[in-house]
């Protein structure tokens, strides 16, 4: 069985959110395709938080190269997928390395200036959306790019789907306590709409501490580090899924929400262009509250159009076929 290293930050492997879900899904798909995905990460944490001055992740990645290379060489790995731009230098040692970005140097994201120099060295990438493929070409001249979505779990999307369980005043938001995710907006929406039941789900337990700085309205329920089963159960019960982030490289919960037939409210930003269907409504800070209320007031419980679109565009089956074709070319 061919080995492929998957290099992610230690905290990405330990938290119950997008990167870890992606890693587990890729490992299982790899096994089905005859490829052993080997998890590799620095042993040292840079910081438990994203942007403490002097501990920014890209700086930390550079000082962890020896540890990462030791792990790669000890397993006789020649092909590497790395998810963090700070590990771009791996291609100096491993020509068969490819970037699969979980972030992107967009001005909406904290630390984007630090990411930019690393992206000028990227020569091959896998991205989750056509938007990111265009941006890599336009901004960094990277044209050897495959588009492969992080496919949602079809089995969970079938097992937990039950329109009779939808609570019509329930709004769901999934994210992090980070400025570009705008949890403050969600809290303000809840304050202004006491008739709504607002669930805020955070990927890591560390946010239990950071959320203490907010005044949490009584109609907000906070959840931390839920399992995929718990996510889909909660997703099924919500009427509206709302994403108000400034920028996303993929926005996995949005595709899961589409697959579960949710009424979706999302930003107008072009990075969300792949989230499109009859009941996916794009807005901005000026009209989001009204859009969420309109979606909640819709007479239908679910959107079969959204569900059908998601299964045709973002399913695990689509992801598996993408990697089947990619590995056939890259590993030969």
Each residue of 241-253: pLDDT tens digit?
999 999 999 889 9
Write the pLDDT tens digit of every residue in 229-276. 999 999 999 999 999 999 999 889 999 999 999 999 999 999 999 999
Q: Is residue 161 located within the same domain as residue 309? A: yes
pLDDT at 52 over 70: no
CB atoms within 10 A of CB 198: 26
Domain span at 32: 2-151+315-331
Concatenating the DSSP letter of every residue in 209-252 gives HHGGGS---TTEEEEES--HHHHHHHHHHEEEEE---S--S--H
Q: What is the reported pTM?
A: 0.90
Residue 17 has pLDDT above 80, yes or no: no
Least confident window among 40-54, 120-134, 138-152: 40-54
Report the percent of the chain where pLDDT is more than 90.
75
Q: Are residues 96 and 193 in the same domain?
A: no
**Per-residue confidence (pLDDT) for residue 206, from 0 to 100:** 82
pLDDT over threshold 70, residue 86: yes
Q: Are residues 95 and 9 in the same domain?
A: yes
| Co-location of 194 and 298 in the same domain | yes
72 and 213: one domain?
no
* pLDDT score, position 106: 86
Q: What is the CATH number of the domain that holds 184?
A: 3.40.50.2000
Out of 84-88, 153-157, 184-188, 278-282, least confident range = 84-88
Residue 239 makes CB contacts below 8 A (sequence gap 6+) with: 166, 167, 168, 169, 170, 171, 262, 263, 295, 296, 298, 301
């Amino acid at each position: 069985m061919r080995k492929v290293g998957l290099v992610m930050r230690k905290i990405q492997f330990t938290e119950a959110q997008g990167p870890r879900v992606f890693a587990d899904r890729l490992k299982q798909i790899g096994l089905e395709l005859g490829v052993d995905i080997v998890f590799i990460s620095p042993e040292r944490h840079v910081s438990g938080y994203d942007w403490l001055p002097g501990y920014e992740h890209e700086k930390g990645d550079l000082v962890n190269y020896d540890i990462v290379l030791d792990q790669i060489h000890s397993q006789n790995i020649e092909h590497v997928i790395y998810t963090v731009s700070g590990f771009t230098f791996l291609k100096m040692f491993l020509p068969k390395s490819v970037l699969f970005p979980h972030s992107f140097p967009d001005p909406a994201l904290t630390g984007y200036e630090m990411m930019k120099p690393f992206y000028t060295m990227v020569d091959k990438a896998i991205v989750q959306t056509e938007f990111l493929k265009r941006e890599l070409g336009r901004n960094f001249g990277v044209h050897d790019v495959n588009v492969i979505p992080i496919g949602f779990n079809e089995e969970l999307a079938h097992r937990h789907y039950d329109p009779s369980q939808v609570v019509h005043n329930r709004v769901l938001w999934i994210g992090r306590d980070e400025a570009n995710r705008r949890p403050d907006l969600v809290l303000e929406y809840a304050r202004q709409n006491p008739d709504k039941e607002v669930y805020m789900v955070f990927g890591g337990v560390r946010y239990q501490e950071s959320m203490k700085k907010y005044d949490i309205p009584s109609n907000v329920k906070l959840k931390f580090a839920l399992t995929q089963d718990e996510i889909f159960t909660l997703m099924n019960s919500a009427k509206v899924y709302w994403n108000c982030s400034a920028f996303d490289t993929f926005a996995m919960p949005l595709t899961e929400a589409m697959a579960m037939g949710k009424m979706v409210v999302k930003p107008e930003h072009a990075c969300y262009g792949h989230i499109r269907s009859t009941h996916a409504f794009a807005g901005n800070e000026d009209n989001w509250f009204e859009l969420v209320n309109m979606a909640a007031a819709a007479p239908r419980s679910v959107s079969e159009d959204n569900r059908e679109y998601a299964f045709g565009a973002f399913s695990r089956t689509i992801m598996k076929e993408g990697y089947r074709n990619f590995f056939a070319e890259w590993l030969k």
